[in-house]
Structure 1
Amino acid sequence: MSRALSLMIQGTSSDAGKSVLVTALCRIFAEDGFRTAPFKSQNMALNSYITVDGKEIGRAQGVQAEAAGILATTDMNPILIKPTRENESQIVVHGEPYQNMKAKAYRSEFFPIGLKLIEEAYERLAKNYDRIVIEGAGSPAEVNLNDREMVNMRVARMTGAPVILVADIERGGVFASLVGTLQLLEPEDRDRVIGVIINKFRGDLSLLQPGLDWFEEYTGKPVLGVVPYIHNLYIDAEDSLILQQYRGRPQQKRDLDIAVIQYPRISNFTDLDPFFVEEDCQLRFVTRAEELGEPDLIILPGSKNTIEDLQYLKQEGFDQRLLALRETHQSVIVGVCGGYQMLGALIRDPYEVESLCGEIPGLQLLPIETTLEKKKVTTLSQGIVRYKGIKMEVIGYEIHMGQSTAIAPLSSFVEMENRVEGGMNDQHDVMGTYFHGIFHNDSFRHALLNDLRLKKGLAPFSQRVSFNELREKGFEQLAQHVRKHLKMGQIEQLMKSFQCHNRSTKVL
């Protein structure tokens, strides 16, 4: 039986850049002629990805599969954890909801089930690919959790993978974090680490060199690369930590002001990425009604708990502010998935999917009612949008536990082969859809933005960017950048040497 050559990327902390480096390595190995797949045993994320067969996995693994030039499957992320409320998450197994669990129950009850799922998923990948790039989570040195972890060193041992440890130099204390992590590992796991990568470097490498020399002498581990910070890749982010960077981006006064309401359970915020590349758009994330102002476009994004986030909007006064803007037609309001549900008249929860409240009035901006259901809809979708006399083909993906129905005449948002989806009012200034990725459709986004310009008395842009083309270029640029700054020849040699010496080793 053929056996894939594997490599695992672990970090000294969350947001060290593991996902991006795995994405780069997937593209690099694919460019070098190897059939390559990503793997993350257990992922915690509110940004998810829909496979071609309608299953839900972590968005990072879907993007990594795209970088490798393959179709994503649930074997690449067999367990997805989606936080729903404090200390509780929805557990998604091979793309389908398993059950909601508290953290302690997950560790005590799900652990043996999870290990078996992970091992079986990896074995299937190993039979079909030449290379598997495995991503860890958080840090492998969480000593309070390591007895039942299913995503770091236990997976490395299970798969026989060597490990490269990654540290984010922007956080400060990069050598302390690397040395401390190594010292906290069990001896056999420390031996599994074949080297380290220092990520997100800015500045003069010659000033860092004495530290690199000291580290190699002190630990005996080679520095396999120092990767400079890279900007504007337009590759989907996954971790909610990235929202801090979104909010922290420098704002410039531009023609179009777009406000995104950032409620506590915001999900699939990568829907918004295309606006960052539009030259005339300023995108703002707001958490308080007084921050809203009078934007040209207001977006209510997806939510992992629609009822709780709707309650948040009302507590913060967003409901009254949105109604006022709607009455004066000052802003166009678009809701996506959970945001679409919030725009309606009522949300019912008869099965207590999200809440014990039974039902809650919506924002009263669209004549729809939503009933939350036990079964989650997960599907890739396509259809036709008719907007201001323009007919456009659109694609997207749906992830929702609920169905919305019109209670008064309402124009559909998307016309599909066997149904209509979403809705918009006659003025086209309040719209809602279950289509995640709707703004990634260049034709629709361009039509919407140019209509906003006309509304302000501005001339439309005749030449806008294609976000999908920029995204593909992002994969190429990332691979070139990482290949340039990693010692790929040494990594290749260490991978082969490690597998040769550890082929028979498999300890859980």
Structure 2
Amino acid sequence: VICEGAGSPAEINLRAGDVVNMGLARAAGLPVVVVGDIDRGGVFAALFGTLALLSPEDQALVAGFVINKFRGDVGLLRPGLDMLAAVTGRPTYGVLPWRSDLWADAEDSLAHGELLGRPAPPHGAEWLRVVAIRWPRIATVTDLEALAVEPGVQVRLTAAPADIAAADLVILPASTATVADLAWLRATGLADAVWRHAAAGKPLLGLASGYQMLGRAIRSASRPSDTIPGLGLLDIDVTLAARATVTRAAGTAYDGIPVSGYAIHHGHVTRGGPVPPLLRDADGRPEGAAAGHIVGTHWHGLFECDAFRRRFLVEVAQRAGRHGFRPAPDTRFAAVRQRVLDLLGDLVEEHLDTAALWRLIEDGPPPGLPFVPPGAPRDMTAPGP
């Protein structure tokens, strides 16, 4: 089993409650390889500083480093790698090159600029312009990536109201803080831009918490008096609960197109009237809402279902007046993902010392790794397992 951490292992203010980085490594005695993104700059300082801010117990598990997203001649980088080894007592297991086609399944939205992916030319005569709100606490960007693989579909992340005006489809994606990001939407003027888009009859999609924001009101299950107005674009009410719904999902959409995905959200929806569902689950229960050009769902992963994605985009194009848009009949998201994984695997095999990494997997952290001062302050480190 290879475990991927989340964020930096040297967030010393969070170390006492860490369960995904060095906390996991300590609990299981796992060897650790720290990966540095050289494309962001300062990679040697980041790698050295990360190690030097860990406790002696954590440092004893850090076996070495990998540098990612390098552009240029590795020979020019080599002296720096040697110096890093000299001051840390740990090797760099390799340098992975920058590849522009390794964009799908990004760790988070920070891996994307304004434009997602590398849009291929349209299969038909027109492009479809999709704009998704870039929440301060955006989540599950993979929903948008599955749209961006479709030829002729340009997907942008934005926090600018002016970008909404030029969009054919506006998406309110998932957020990890529904109430706070809804307040931000209003404060930035984006809510007004979304209302104008919807009033013009243009397609609007809400995903997960973005779906909840489209409703009339959002209230707390524990304190019903804590109610805030939603955008009022769907005849639904949302009650937020402390316990999250986490489940795999499967069902049908439109005229029986099979769909699958997953749901992970807080709260449930109450329909205020006969709002047609976007989907039905395997037991026939309604999910989401489809009120003409305004639709929403709690389910993630739907656009990875090729037939559903194509049908959805056809409807969006018709409602947006993009009659020259045609979805490509042969785009398979699973194949796109597999190509990305194969490419990444090839790069790892070519550019990393896989024999040394395999020894780490078999033998664990090398004994006698030196401590690099100053280390983390003792009151910021978690107790040993």
What TM-score do the two structures reach when normalised by structure 1? 0.64
For residue 241 of structure 2, the aligned residue among 373, 380, 395 is 373
CA displacement at 1:272 relative to structure 2: 0.8
Distance in 1 separating the partners of 2:86 and 2:216: 66
**Distance across 2 between alignment mates of 1:457 and 1:156:** 54
Shift of 1:464: 4.5
Q: 1:154-169, aligned counterparts within 5 Å? A: 155-169=24-38
- Say whether the 8 Å CA contact 1:348–1:371 is kept in structure 2: yes
Equivalent residue for 2:374?
Answer: none
Aligned to 2:145: 273
Kindly tell me: are residues 298 and 490 of structure 1, through their superposed partners in 2, closer, same or farther at Cα, counting changes over 3 Å? same
**Equivalent in the alignment of 1:284:** 156
Letter in 2 for 1:308: A
> Any conservation in 2 of the 1:294–1:325 contact (CA below 8 Å)?
no
Measure the CA separation in 1 of the matches of 2:249 and 2:24.
34
Q: CA deviation at 1:480?
A: 1.7
Corresponding position of 1:476:
342
The structure-2 alpha-carbon separation of the partners of 1:143 and 1:260, relative to structure 1 and needing over 3 Å to count, comes to closer
Task: Give the one of 113, 119, 123 matched to 1:246.
Answer: 113
Quote how far apart the aligned CAs of 1:323 are. Answer: 3.2
What SS does the aligned partner of 2:300 have?
coil
Match of 1:321 among 178, 185, 193: 193
Matched length: 363
Give the distance between the partners of 1:237 and 1:250, measured in 2 at CA.
Answer: 10
Superposed displacement of residue 227, structure 1: 1.1
1:448 and 2:312 matched: yes
Offset at 1:151?
4.6
In the alignment, which residue of structure 2 is the partner of 1:42? none
Q: Say if 1:381 and 1:277 are closer, same or farther in 2 by CA, change over 3 A.
A: same
Q: CA RMSD in A?
A: 3.1
Partner of 2:355: 489
Separation in 2, partners of 1:185, 1:374: 34
> 2 CA distance for matches of 1:173 and 1:318?
35
Question: Contact 1:451/1:460 (CA < 8 Å) preserved in 2?
Answer: no
C-alpha change, 1:406 and 1:246, in structure 2 (3 Å) is same
Which of 413, 420, 423 is 2:278 aligned to? Answer: 413
Q: Is the 8 A contact 2:104 2:142 kept in 1?
A: no
Candidates 218, 224, 247, aligned match of 2:93: 224
Match of 1:215 among 70, 84, 87: 84
Deviations 1:74-100 (A, max 9, x none): xxxxxxxxxxxxxxxxxxxxxxxxxxx
Check 1:461–1:494 CA distance in 2 against 1; reply closer, same or farther (3 A cut).
Answer: closer
Among 45, 48, 63, the residue aligned to 1:176: 45
Paired residues of 1:384 and 1:415 also in contact (CA < 8 A): yes
Aligned to 2:212, which of 341, 347, 351?
341
Post-superposition offset of 1:362: 2.1
Please name the residue that 2:262 is paired with.
Answer: 397
Identity among equivalent pairs (%): 37
Secondary structure in structure 1 of the residue aligned to 2:238:
strand
1:195 aligns with 2:69: no
SS at match of 2:3: strand
Using the alignment, how far apart are the partners of 1:436 and 1:212 within structure 2? Answer: 41
Distance in 2 of aligned mates of 1:370 and 1:213? 57
- Counterpart code for 2:262: Y
Amino acid at match of 2:349: R
Following superposition of structure 1 onto structure 2, how do residues 98-117 of structure 1 map, counting pairs within 5 Å?
Answer: none
Partner of 1:73: none
Q: Report if aligned partners of 1:383, 1:393 keep a CA contact under 8 Å in 2.
A: yes
Task: Name the residue aligned to 2:380.
Answer: none
One-letter amino acid of the counterpart of residue 441, structure 1: C
For 1:473, give the aligned amino acid.
R
Q: Deviation at 1:471?
A: 1.1
Correspondence for 1:432: 296
| Matched residue SS, 1:290 | helix
Amino acid at match of 2:139: S
138 and 264 in structure 1: CA distance in 2 versus 1, 3 angstrom threshold: closer
Q: CA offsets, 1:427-479, max 9 Å, x none?
A: x3111111111222211211122333443231523434111221122222211
Checking the alignment, whether the CA contact within 8 Å between 2:29 and 2:61 is kept in structure 1 is no
* Aligned position for 2:332: 466
> How far, CA to CA, are the matches of 2:42 and 2:354 in structure 1?
26
1:299 matched to 2:164? The reply is no
Q: Deviations over 1:300-335 (max 9, x none)?
A: 112223233223333333444333333332x10111
Distance 1:349 1:395 in 2: 29
> Judging changes above 3 Å, is the alpha-carbon distance between structure 1 residues 260 and 213 closer, same or farther for their aligned structure 2 residues?
same
For the Cα contact (< 8 Å) 1:140–1:181, is it kept in 2?
yes
Structure 1 counterpart of 2:376: none
Compared CA separation, residues 348 and 161, structure 1 to 2 (3 A): closer
Q: Deviations over 1:230-261 (max 9, x none)?
A: 3333542344533xx23266998971111112
Q: Secondary structure at the match of 2:132?
A: strand
Partner of 1:360: 228
- Higher RCO (C-alpha under 8 Å, 6+ residues apart): 2
Describe the SS at the equivalent of 2:274: coil
Aligned-partner residue type, residue 163 of structure 2: E
Inter-CA distance 137–163: structure 2 relative to 1 (3 Å threshold): same
Classify the secondary structure of the residue corresponding to 2:157: strand
Cα separation, partners in 2 of 1:376 and 1:482, compared to 1, 3 Å: same
8 Å CA contact 1:385–1:393 kept in 2: the answer is: yes
CA contact (8 A) 1:446 1:464 kept: no
Instruction: Give the drift of 1:149.
Output: 4.8
Aligned counterparts of 1:240 and 1:459: Cα–Cα separation in 2: 27
Query: In the TM superposition, what is the alpha-carbon distance from 1:366 to its structure 2 partner?
Result: 1.7
SS in 2 for 1:322: helix
User: What letter matches 1:351 in structure 2?
Assistant: S
- Tell me, in whole angstroms, the C-alpha distance in 2 between the residues paired with 1:397 and 1:159: 29
| Compared CA separation, residues 207 and 380, structure 1 to 2 (3 A) | same
Contact kept, 8 Å, 2:108 with 2:139, in 1: the verdict is no
CA distance 1:194–1:281, change in 2 (3 Å): same
Deviations 1:328-359 (A, max 9, x none): 32x1011112111221222232414xxx8622
**How far is 1:481 from its partner?**
1.3
Aligned partner of 1:322: which letter? V
Structure 1, gaps ≥5 residues long: 1-36, 38-132
